[in-house]
């Protein structure tokens, strides 16, 4: 049985010659590793046939950035009509390529997986802890004639911001299997899709070299998507963390806390522990600007009072379970007119700290200052 690999390629006119490009980095890596730089190339039935031999010299492009491609000059084997078309259009024409009896598809995939982690991925994979942002990501596989195409995608407002700024990025992978997103002038751009509810999805196609052997086996068995984690640096991408909170109050207070040199945890898209988390202290902050109506008590299941009661009790429960050492509740100052609210605030002290504000006239600065003073009073250490 013949060893057959089918790939796409392109032919283009360049300085009096016709160049064939084979769109397969794994195949180029294989030839480089075996020191093969001569092959037989023929043109038949609108396809190029490549076998072992010495009719054509093989050249390699993009070797320095570890994304090599094979190219060869093929003008002598092409019909005159095609050569004239390429010369006039000055555009690349897509072609089919059949690679026969050099290496099998499975062996090429296995070879590529073996060397993928040996290739340098990024210059500096170590992101300082205070700069590191962790987000959930997915790798999806889409079957084609020769195997799979792979798409890397993330549902998070942080990546929406990067996509809208058209930042060129490089996706790589560390030894633990986590993905790393870095800026790179030779990288690609995220595509952006926003569903009718406003939730963003950023995605781009990635190289098969980033897919592990275990993941490839899952895709071959029918799996189409695998979840993972990705890391990036907020400093490298100049990200304003306060922009990624859900509502205006959260964004405003987060910005004020950042100005007070607090390290704010990136909000998860789906999991909501609290509105704001002070990462260095594992302190959670809940914000509610609901005002009481003329009749507002904690026993009305549909009233604002039930909401305030729930926020204070929820904070007390998290502290009691040892999830957090302290919990802040930021509420409207009009709630202090109700005795049951004051009684509840006193009951959940000192672990649940309530701060009342008008939510007017730069309220966020006063609240951030109050949080800072409370942390100093409690003598908490990072």
Q: Note the pLDDT tens digit of each residue in 2-21.
A: 788 999 999 999 887 999 99
- Stretch among 120-129, 205-214, 241-250, 307-316 having the lowest mean pLDDT: 120-129
**Residue 121 vs residue 85, higher pLDDT:** 85
Question: For residues 280 and 366, is the Cβ–Cβ distance under 8 A?
Answer: no
Alpha-helical regions (H) of 1-49: 25-33
Q: Percentage of the chain with pLDDT > 90?
A: 49
Distance from C-alpha of 83 to C-alpha of 216, rounded to nearest angstrom: 40
For the stretch 348-371, pLDDT in tens is 999 999 999 999 989 999 999 999
Does the pLDDT of residue 117 top 50, yes or no? no
pLDDT 10s digits, 334-351: 999 989 999 999 999 999
What fold is seen in the domain 241-377?
Rossmann fold (3.40.50)
Residue 119 has pLDDT above 50, yes or no: no
When the pLDDT of each residue in the chain is averaged and rounded to a whole number, the result is: 86
Mean pLDDT, residues 170-174: 86
- Alpha-carbon gap, residue 248 to 107, rounded angstroms: 55
Alpha carbon distance 47, 50 (integer Å):
10
Alpha-helical segments (H) within the chain: 25-33, 80-89, 105-116, 157-164, 213-220, 248-259, 304-320, 339-348, 363-377
Contacts of 53 (CB under 8 A, 6+ apart): 38, 39, 40
Residues 6+ apart with CB under 8 A from 271: none
Could you tell me which of 169, 181, 27 has the C-alpha nearest to residue 104?
Answer: 27
pLDDT band at 245 (very low <50, low <70, confident <90, very high): confident
Rg (the chain; Cα; Å): 29
CB 171 within 8 A of CB 179: yes
Token pair recorded at residue 35: 């020191």
Q: What is the pLDDT of residue 67?
A: 73
* Of residues 64 and 85, more confidently modeled: 85
Q: Which residue has the tokens 């998070």?
A: 156
Question: Would you call 77 helix, strand, or coil by DSSP?
Answer: helix
Residue 274 binned pLDDT confidence (cut-offs 50, 70, 90): low
**Higher pLDDT pick, 43 / 133:** 43
* Sheet strands (E) in the chain: 4-14, 17-22, 38-44, 47-52, 56-57, 59-61, 69-73, 93-100, 132-144, 147-154, 169-173, 179-183, 191-194, 200-206, 225-233, 276-278, 283-287, 327-332, 352-357
CA 377 to chain centre: 39
| Closest to 210 measured CA to CA, from 7, 46, 18, 26 | 26
Cα 375 to Cα 249: distance, rounded to the nearest angstrom: 21
**In the beta sheet, which residues pair with residue 171?**
181
Domain boundaries defined on the chain: 4-116, 132-233, 241-377
């Amino acid at each position: 049985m013949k060893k057959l690999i089918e790939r796409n390629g392109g032919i283009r006119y360049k300085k009096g010659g016709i160049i064939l490009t084979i769109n397969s980095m794994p195949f180029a890596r294989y030839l480089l590793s075996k020191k093969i730089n001569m092959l037989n190339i023929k043109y038949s039935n609108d396809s190029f046939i490549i076998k072992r031999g010495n009719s054509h010299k093989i050249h390699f492009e993009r070797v320095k950035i570890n994304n090599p491609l094979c190219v060869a000059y093929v003008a002598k084997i092409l019909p005159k009509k095609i050569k004239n078309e390429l010369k006039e259009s000055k555009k690349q024409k897509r072609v089919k390529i059949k690679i026969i009896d050099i290496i099998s598809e499975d062996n090429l995939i296995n070879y590529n997986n073996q060397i993928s982690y040996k290739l340098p991925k990024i210059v500096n994979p170590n992101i300082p802890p205070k700069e590191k942002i962790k987000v959930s990501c997915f790798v999806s596989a889409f079957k084609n004639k020769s195997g799979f195409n792979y798409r890397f995608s993330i549902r998070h407002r942080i990546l929406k911001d990067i996509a809208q700024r058209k930042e060129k990025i490089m996706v790589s992978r560390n030894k633990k299997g986590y993905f790393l997103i870095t800026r790179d002038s030779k990288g690609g751009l995220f595509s952006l899709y926003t569903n009718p509810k406003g939730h963003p999805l950023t995605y781009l196609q990635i190289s098969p070299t980033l897919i592990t052997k275990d993941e490839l086996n899952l895709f071959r068995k029918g799996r189409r998507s695998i979840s993972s984690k990705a890391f990036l640096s907020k400093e490298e991408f100049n990200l304003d963390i306060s922009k990624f909170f859900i509502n205006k109050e959260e964004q405003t207070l987060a910005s004020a806390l950042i100005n007070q040199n607090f390290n704010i945890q990136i909000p998860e898209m789906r999991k909501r522990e609290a509105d704001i988390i002070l990462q260095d202290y594992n302190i959670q902050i809940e914000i509610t600007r609901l005002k009481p109506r003329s009749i507002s008590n904690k026993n009305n299941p549909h009233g604002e009072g039930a909401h305030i009661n729930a926020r204070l009790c929820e904070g007390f429960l998290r502290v009691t379970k040892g999830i957090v050492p302290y919990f802040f509740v930021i509420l409207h100052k009009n709630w202090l007119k109700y005795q049951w609210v004051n009684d509840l605030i006193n009951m959940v002290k000192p672990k649940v700290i309530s701060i009342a504000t008008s939510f007017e006239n730069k309220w966020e600065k006063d609240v951030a200052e109050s949080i800072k003073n409370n942390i100093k009073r409690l003598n908490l250490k990072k």
